[in-house]
Structure 1
């Protein structure tokens, strides 16, 4: 049986916060008030890209570790990528113009 890896609490918190921000963006788009990006609005296609990138961010380090010749600490890599992604999402919310 494969060895299970525990997910650190910081990664759980960052992932949850990122998911909540993405759900907020989807919710605003559904009620007809999409997020502003400069003089444009965040479209459905942009939200699909944003959601897909978030899901890819969570899966890519694990998949890379499975395919790599020398295994590495993919949880730490995922943690660092998730922190950067959360920073990007906060910038989208705080600095829309």
Structure 2
């Protein structure tokens, strides 16, 4: 019985940890941010705090009450996101949801 529980525990831990590695984000070839396209703006999200650093952080733009995925933001990384100008609400979700109103 102990062997079965150990095998199940190892499997569960492996599945949970593999979820931390996502193919959705990739490193940029340069740190320079290109100008935004006409009629668009760029927003840079940065996560520098080590508080809850082990917990992933997803960034969303709230559009008409719906969430549009921006990206995953690990500690010590940045996301450059292009959107339309105007009043915006962004949401981050990790241990809890936080909202950021912006006028771009």
Scaled by the length of structure 1, what TM-score is found? 0.29
Normalised TM-score (structure 2): 0.28
More helix by share: 1
